[in-house]
Amino acid sequence: MRPIYLDYNATTPLAPPVQEAMLPFLADQYGHPFADHALGRAAAQAIEDARSRVASAIGASAHEIYFCSGATESCHTALAMRPRWAVTTTVDHHAVRQAPCGEDLTVVSVPASGVVSPEAVVDAAVDGETLVSVVHANSEVGLLQPVERIASLLEGRGVLLHTDASQSFGKVKVDVNELGVDLLTLTSHKCYGPKGVGALYVRDGAALKPPQSSGPLLRPGTPSVAAIAGFGAAAELASRSVDEAAPRLAGMIEQLVGLLRSAIGEELIIWGEGQVRLPNTVAVAMPGVSGAEVLSACPELCATPLACGGQGGVSLSPTLRAMGVDPQAGSGSVRLSAGWHSEPDDIERAASLLIGAWERLSG
């Protein structure tokens, strides 16, 4: 029996149209994109086409898109563009929290809800000197952060705003103008594209230290034309599919929570319940067990533990720690994230496996 994949927040499978877009550049269209001949020009045009597709998917202009190796490089580059001072949050990805960012980094704590206070972020910013980076959607719990409100409060202060939208893009609408950001990070493998390629959006006119390259590439060296072409196809596909996919994914997550709650009862904790979350994501805590042990007990299920036990006690994920979760209450935490290929039967099987493992381990 095939595994049940509920780890789409970690990575996604390659969509068939994306593979189709990549294949020519893995075969007969092998030219170097910087070469001035027919094959080289075809490769260069493929990069330009992908750049336009990615830009269109987020409401940007093509010249505002710079390709890179993925979200980590994109985030690091964004923070390096204004190296004097940076502000981020305790629920941002470690790609931001551990990025080299010059003289100082202020990390704003979140309350128990997991949603940062816009006012707290804005208060930490120094006018005319700061780059603020707040994740659009947290990868572990799926909480959407108030990026639009932060952008509104920062208006006119000369503070630049970056958001990492690698987890939200393709699951909810992502538009740089509606968000009000100056910089935005994307990665291909979270939206049914290939691994090893991402992008940084840099708003035209933003007062920033320029990227390494003035062309469509952020990094030196020979670009992976196939990966970039695949990213362009994936971005276009994800943007067009989001309105249809989101309610379907939300319905399956609701189904999963209902099945777990009917068996486990009100002791089942839904982290971030009542807050605005990604439609495909739920982080649950089952009482009296370890999240890592539960998933080990049902190897057919591909998901991510947010807690594990050991001689040193319970170890919680960074987001749960940031939310101030009690280690014992959070010990049975796992993240379950659905995707385009998830089916209601998968949800029923996953719930059955989790409930069975919980009953065996807690009894």
Q: What is the pLDDT of residue 212?
A: 55
Residues paired with 28 in a beta bridge: none
**SS3 assignment, position 19:** helix
Structure tokens at 178: 């509606």
Domains of the chain: 4-8+243-362 (3.90.1150.10), 16-239 (3.40.640.10)
In this structure, what DSSP letter does residue 188 have? G
Please say if the pLDDT value at position 56 is more than 50. yes
**Which distant-in-sequence residues (6+ apart) come within 8 Å of 300 by Cβ?**
1, 3, 4, 349, 353
**Which distant-in-sequence residues (6+ apart) come within 8 Å of 16 by Cβ?**
none
Residues making up the chain, counted from first to last: 363
d(Cα 325, Cα 317) in Å, to the nearest integer?
A: 10
Q: What is the pLDDT of residue 312?
A: 62
d(Cα 224, Cα 33) in Å, to the nearest integer?
A: 9
Q: Which residue has the tokens 């990575």?
A: 11
Q: Amino acid letter at 316?
A: L
**Which distant-in-sequence residues (6+ apart) come within 8 Å of 253 by Cβ?**
279, 280, 281, 282, 336, 338
Mean local confidence (pLDDT), 90-109: 79
Structure tokens at 1: 């029996």
Q: Which residue has the tokens 């990213």?
A: 231
Mean local confidence (pLDDT), 200-221: 70
Q: What is the pLDDT of residue 207?
A: 61
16-48 residue pLDDT tens: 999 999 999 999 999 999 999 999 999 999 999
139-194 residue pLDDT tens: 999 999 999 999 999 999 999 999 999 999 999 999 999 999 999 999 999 999 99
213-260 residue pLDDT tens: 545 566 778 899 999 999 999 999 999 999 999 999 999 999 999 999
d(Cα 130, Cα 240) in Å, to the nearest integer?
A: 34
What number of CA atoms fall less than 13 Å from residue 62's CA on the CB side? Answer: 11
Q: Amino acid letter at 362?
A: S
**SS3 assignment, position 68:** strand
Question: What is the chain's mean pLDDT, rounded?
Answer: 92
Q: What is the pLDDT of residue 140?
A: 96
174-186 residue pLDDT tens: 999 999 999 999 9
Q: What is the pLDDT of residue 221?
A: 84
Q: Amino acid letter at 185?
A: T
Report the interhelical angle of 38-57 vs 225-264 (nearest 10°).
30
Query: 208 falls in which pLDDT band (50, 70, 90)?
Result: low
304-344 residue pLDDT tens: 999 886 656 789 999 999 999 999 999 999 999 999 999 99
Q: What is the pLDDT of residue 210?
A: 53
Nearest by Cα to 31 from 21, 20, 44, 22: 44
Q: How many CB atoms lie within 10 A of CB 335?
A: 24
Whole-number Cα distances in Å, 95 to 43, 103, 238, 327: 31, 17, 23, 24
d(Cα 91, Cα 315) in Å, to the nearest integer?
A: 16
Q: Are 79 and 86 in contact (CB under 8 A)?
A: yes
Mean local confidence (pLDDT), 103-128: 92
Q: What is the pLDDT of residue 154?
A: 96
Query: 100 falls in which pLDDT band (50, 70, 90)?
Result: low
